[in-house]
A and B are shown apart, each in its own frame.
Chain A
Amino acid sequence: MNGVSGRIQKVNREGEGAFIPYLMAGDPTPERSLEYIEALAEGGADVIELGVPFSDPVADGPTIQAAGTRALASMGRVEHVLELVRKVRKDVDVPIILMSYYNPILQFGEDQFISSSIRAGIDGSILPDLPVGEGQTFLQAASENSFETPLLATPGTDRGRLAKIVENSSGFLYLVARPGTTGAKDGLRDMTTRAIGFVKPRLPAELPVCVGFGLSTPGQVAGVIKAGADGAIVGSAIVEKIGEGDGPEAIERFVRLLKDGTRV
């Protein structure tokens, strides 16, 4: 088994949680973000989540919004991101999943997006504003092409809704740790631990659960893995460092620390 879920399960079999860092494609420039992506891989990323810039990112907090604004200058179109991934693929074989709002995909064309992404070496996509029920044509086409589509569940998702989300998810289930938008927060809430406990027994064996939104430290990463998650996603904390001008070496060190959190 390959792709995102295959990689997460392989890591899990080795007794670790998967670590999934996020950064915004093209932030601050295409050349520089290529170096940062390589740094994520060097630092021990098991899967890389790559953001596609969008003018109106309603699910994101201020840190990722700012990164999107920086990146829009050079990555205003899906094609630009695909081009970047083609370059990444010369050196990096870590599975890559795109995080994009739906409108740029709709304009590019759903089917064309799936086929072009696969050709560029992308394993799947997360579309945070295309919930199950509204995205059926896309999810169907993705499934037919083995293009992985993690869907989001939240602490407020009830049993019936979760069953639908799980049925349509592939790659992993993206469990949102807390209400709100993306952004680094301190501590780990009971809510998150409870949500992991609620979701985990309701998943088929081949669908891992990864937790994101608000995780920023190795301790929080360790916390969600201990609570039963198969992987942890960190975005804003990395993006913030990039925004402050930290170089690829610093990012690589930070990723290594976060990855250590998954070995519990």
Chain B
Amino acid sequence: MPEILYPALKDLEDAYDRYRDDPDFSEELHAYNRGYGGRPSSLYYARRLTERAGGGKIYLKREDLVHGGAHKFNNVMGQALLAKRMGKERLICETGAGQHGVATSLAGAVLGLKTEVYMGSVDAERQRPNLFRMELMGAEVHEVDTGSKTLKDAINEALRDWSANVNNTHYLVGSVVGPHPYPMIVRDFQRVIGDELKSQMMKKEGRLPDHIVACVGGGSNAMGTFYPFVDYDEVRLTGVEAGGSGKGDAASLTEGTEGVLHGAKSLLLQDEGGQITETDSIAAGLDYPGVGPEHALYRETGRVQYTTASDQEALEGFHLLSETEGIIPALEPSHAIFTGMEIAAEMEPEDILVITLSGRGDKDLETVRETLT
């Protein structure tokens, strides 16, 4: 990380230490999560999907029902409230699929903080509806035309903005990536997914699930889902990365090598010279050449299994969930749906599988329609 950001990262770490266990702060966040965000999100038994797989019982953790249409809300609300307490007047963020930009924009609007969003021009093109949503909520969107014009370039540009405006601006990082303390803070705000899932499952089934599946780009919905379960060895955890079209992929954990990007040492898609390579996925939200460093650790220890689903397979998951359950998923969790179906098919009827449905698919309708013509 550039030295210029050191004081801001230190301030953020100090502020987080001060507020993480502060009852006032927790109360305020909890109130927004419930009243404004619609939490807890439901844990839904997908009967027809279960029948289709013909194996274990499939539950969906419905983050698509959270305000803004994705799990991004959880992290954004936490960080925006923290920024407000730190006296920041302005939020900036990067966005790939646009879900994190939408979430940051709504938090900025409801808390009265000026919001600017950086979005790669390739992503802006394929996620127009989300761009318009951000603007409707008062955010200013900057399209980024450098590099691969996707998520990593949006992060580069947000970091440059932050370097110039560290005093009044909070950089609201959208995933478990970037320099310390971001991976920790984002994980802690996202673990509400796994915490709710655990108590909901105990109520419904009286036990923990056998297997949990979530998609991984930067890795925030997967980290939030998995983290409360890492100490329960009987629960298998599977992360699904984007296998892309066959020409390339965005699978840092399954294909990457160790490197340093955006202030974190993790697994990266890079060439032999250490240049970061361009990613390829139908899901803009998975198009990141790195991954959260804690995922790299779980891969190394073997606690989480990581696999890939291709663009084609994700589309299969997308249509399957739409047709069997009347739920149109985002293309990102469609990867997890495909892999989850394969896993469920191999399970016994009394076994339980949970798939985190991290977001809804409205933003992807155009992308999917183009694949049908």
A positions within 8 Å CB-CB of B: 54-59, 61-62, 65, 69, 72, 76-78, 102-108, 128-129, 131, 151-154, 156-158, 161, 165, 176, 179-181
Which of A57, A61, A161, A180: most chain B CB closer than 10 A?
A: A180
Partner of B160 from A54, A104, A180 at Cβ < 8 Å? A180
Q: How far is the CA of A51 from the CA of B268 in the complex (A)?
A: 23
The answer, yes or no, to whether B274 is at the interface (CB within 8 Å) is: yes
Q: Which residue of B lies closest to A165 (CB)?
A: B3
Partner of A151 from B3, B156, B167, B260 at Cβ < 8 Å? B3
Interface residues in B, total, Cβ within 8 A: 33
Do B273 and A179 touch (CB < 8 A)?
Answer: no
Residues of chain B from 151 to 189 with CB closer than 8 A to chain A in the complex: 152-153, 156, 159-160, 163-167
The answer, yes or no, to whether B327 is at the interface (CB within 8 Å) is: no
Do B275 and A131 touch (CB < 8 A)?
Answer: no
Please give, as numbers and ranges, the residues of chain A lying within 8 Å of B128 by CB-CB distance.
none
B positions within 8 Å CB-CB of A: 1-4, 6-7, 146-147, 152-153, 156, 159-160, 163-167, 258-263, 268, 270-277
Please give, as numbers and ranges, the residues of chain A lying within 8 Å of B262 by CB-CB distance.
56, 58
What are 14 of the A-B contact pairs (CB < 8 Å)? A55-B275, A57-B156, A104-B273, A106-B259, A106-B260, A106-B274, A107-B274, A129-B260, A131-B3, A151-B3, A165-B3, A179-B166, A180-B163, A181-B163
Q: Which residue of B lies closest to A78 (CB)?
A: B273
Q: How far is the CA of A128 from the CA of B5 in the complex (A)?
A: 11
Please give, as numbers and ranges, the residues of chain A lying within 8 Å of B167 by CB-CB distance.
179
Do B274 and A152 touch (CB < 8 A)?
Answer: no
Tell me the dominant secondary structure on chain A's binding face. loop
4 new A-B contacts, CB < 8 A, other than A55-B147, A161-B7, are A54-B274, A65-B146, A129-B2, A179-B164
Please give, as numbers and ranges, the residues of chain B lying within 8 Å of A128 by CB-CB distance.
2-3
Q: Which residue of B lies closest to A108 (CB)?
A: B274
Partner of A54 from B164, B165, B258, B275 at Cβ < 8 Å? B275
Partner of B275 from A76, A179, A181 at Cβ < 8 Å? A76
Q: How far is the CA of A57 from the CA of B273 in the complex (A)?
A: 15
Q: How far is the CA of A241 from the CA of B45 in the complex (A)?
A: 64
- Closest CB-CB distance, B49 to chain A, in whole Å? 40
Partner of A156 from B159, B166, B263 at Cβ < 8 Å? B166
- Closest CB-CB distance, A91 to chain B, in whole Å? 27
